[in-house]
């Protein structure tokens, strides 16, 4: 009887450990899933940024704009070459996007080029705020 | 004292706007989402029982601050404006002078010709720049947008130019004799919404707002309108000190205006 109870207790204990380990495995799996979905998100926006830098047309700006809403970007700052002296080329300007802690996230253009026609594109950043630091 | 001054300025501005409406048959308003042009929109609402009965034009070169675009869309919806956004193209190789000329003035000419506007309400003030001090309340432009600043009407006894030459237009300047502190006092009194970039953040704010290319911020801790008014009473820097185009040779600004740039 005592041995039976011992075995019972051992099994219960093992099951408890098993449950705990199972919980850990499940948790780790969900963490892994979360990490994976975060990575996928990062890759998605990373891809959108890469495509935008290569070809800043309206279509790619629209795709980037959709990904920007789900990203961590909160602030922006725009950089131009030497201001207004001599011949400036606005196509060299770029914007840097920062997260809420002002950590640098991406670098993107500030213009849109469609059929050799160049237009400004800062309107796509209107959900962000200026980094005045 | 301030209220009396503001009342007089407001009355004069409303009178000019109504006079323009009576004498010119196709008017538009230029709006850059700055404090001056937004004040003029609210003056127009005062003149016409809460409405803006004219089309509102934004000459958009695409490189304004994102906050400016957000402010534009929000206020246009709130005030139910008939907003016309004229998108100008950026030329690949441009100098400072050409930036404004190529980008904005060309587009303005196009839209005025397309829509047949013979009156344009513009929000410039005499105290902003020496060249603007030469303006009149109603200033004539010819079909090529040229401004003959050496040969203008004296405007005594409220005698304003309202007859345009063929294909020309009249620029109406309702806040020409306001100064910067009047604008801020009026904004405070009438609770006019403003672009958040005018308020200080991280120790910097924009005293005058242009596009991202030619505007820089100034050091300031003024993060309310009251603080801005206090700051203006003691500042020794000029309002447009952060605007690159004004740092170019003075004749550039005169040349821009004589060719039709705001």
pLDDT at B261 over 90: no
Q: Does the beta-carbon distance from B62 to A128 stay under 8 Å?
A: no
Summary mean pLDDT of chain B: 86
> Judging by beta carbons within 10 Å of its beta carbon (0-12, 13-18, 19+), is residue B137 exposed, middle or buried?
buried
**pTM summary value:** 0.83
Q: Does residue B248 sit at the A interface (CB-CB below 8 Å)?
A: yes
Residue of A nearest to B88 (CA): A119
Query: Residue A39: which domain range?
Result: 2-130
Q: Which residue has the higher pLDDT, B33 or B149?
A: B33
Confidence category of residue B31, pLDDT binned at 50, 70, 90: very high
Tell me the DSSP string of A89-113: -GGG-EEEEE-TT--EEEEEESEEE
Q: Where are the domains of chain B?
A: 2-178
Q: Does the beta-carbon distance from A84 to B99 stay under 8 Å?
A: yes
Give dist(CA B62, CA B167) in Å, integer. 28
Domains in chain A, number: 1
- What are residue B56's DSSP bridge partners? B29, B83
Q: Does residue B63 sit at the A interface (CB-CB below 8 Å)?
A: yes
Q: Nearest CA of chain B to the CA of A106: how many Å? A: 17
Confidence category of residue B197, pLDDT binned at 50, 70, 90: very high
pLDDT at B123 over 70: yes
> Which chain A residues are within 8 Å of B202, Cβ to Cβ?
132-133
Q: Nearest CA of chain A to the CA of B148: how many Å? A: 27
Position B164 scores a pLDDT of 76
Q: Is A130 helix (H, G, I), strand (E, B) or coil?
A: strand
Q: Which of A78, A87, A124 sits opposite B95 (nearest CB)?
A: A87
pLDDT at B190 over 60: yes
Choose, out of B62, B67, B77, the residue to mutate when testing the contact with A (most A CBs < 10 Å): B62
pLDDT at B101 over 60: no
Position A86 scores a pLDDT of 39
Q: Nearest CA of chain B to the CA of A36: how many Å? A: 32
Q: What is the mean pLDDT of residues B212-239?
A: 87
Q: Nearest CA of chain A to the CA of B226: how many Å? A: 21
Choose, out of A120, A128, A133, the residue to mutate when testing the contact with B (most B CBs < 10 Å): A120
Position A64 scores a pLDDT of 94
Confidence category of residue B128, pLDDT binned at 50, 70, 90: confident
Q: Which of B62, B70, B214 sits opposite A119 (nearest CB)?
A: B62
What average pLDDT values come out for chain A (133 residues) when binned by 10 residues?
75 67 63 63 81 93 92 92 52 89 93 85 94 88
CATH code for the part of the protein at B2-178: 3.40.50.620
Place of tokens 């801020």: B184
Of A19-23, B65-69, B213-217, the one with minimum mean pLDDT is A19-23
**Best-predicted range by mean pLDDT among A3-17, B93-107, B113-127?**
B113-127
Position B155 scores a pLDDT of 85
pLDDT at B93 over 70: no
């Amino acid at each position: 009887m005592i041995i039976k109870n011992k075995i019972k207790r051992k099994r219960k204990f093992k099951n408890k450990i098993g449950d705990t380990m199972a919980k850990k495995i499940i948790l780790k799996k969900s963490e892994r899933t979360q990490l994976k979905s975060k990575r996928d998100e990062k890759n998605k926006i990373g891809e959108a940024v890469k495509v935008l830098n290569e070809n800043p047309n309206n279509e790619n700006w629209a795709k980037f704009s959709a990904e920007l809403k789900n990203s961590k970007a909160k602030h922006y700052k725009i950089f131009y070459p030497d201001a207004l002296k001599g011949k400036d080329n606005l196509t060299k300007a770029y914007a840097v996007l920062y997260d809420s802690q002002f950590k640098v996230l991406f670098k993107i253009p500030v213009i849109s080029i469609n059929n050799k026609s160049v237009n400004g594109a800062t309107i796509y950043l209107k959900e962000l705020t200026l980094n005045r630091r | 004292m301030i209220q009396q001054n503001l009342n007089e300025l407001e009355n004069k501005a409303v009178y000019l706007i109504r006079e323009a409406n009576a004498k010119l048959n196709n008017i538009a308003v230029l709006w850059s989402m700055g404090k001056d042009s937004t004040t003029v929109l609210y003056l127009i609402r005062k003149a016409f029982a809460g409405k803006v009965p004219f089309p509102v034009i934004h000459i958009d070169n695409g490189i304004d601050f994102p906050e400016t675009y957000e402010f534009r869309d929000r206020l246009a919806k709130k005030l139910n404006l008939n907003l016309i956004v004229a998108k100008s193209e950026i030329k690949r190789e441009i100098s400072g002078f050409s930036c404004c000329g190529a980008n904005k003035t060309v587009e303005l000419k196009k839209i005025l010709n397309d829509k047949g506007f013979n009156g344009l309400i513009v929000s410039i003030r005499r105290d902003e720049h020496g060249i603007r001090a030469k303006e009149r309340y109603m200033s004539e432009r010819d079909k090529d947008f040229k401004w003959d600043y050496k040969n203008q009407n004296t405007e005594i006894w409220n005698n304003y130019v309202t007859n345009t030459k063929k294909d020309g237009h009249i620029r109406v300047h309702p806040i020409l004799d306001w100064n910067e502190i009047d604008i801020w006092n009026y904004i405070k009194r009438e609770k006019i919404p403003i672009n958040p970039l005018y308020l200080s953040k991280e120790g910097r704010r924009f005293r005058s707002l242009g596009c991202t290319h030619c505007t820089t911020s100034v050091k300031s801790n003024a993060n309310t309108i009251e603080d801005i008014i206090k700051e203006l009473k003691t500042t020794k820097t000029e309002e447009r000190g952060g605007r690159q185009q004004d740092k170019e040779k003075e004749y550039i600004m005169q040349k821009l205006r004589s060719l039709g740039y705001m």
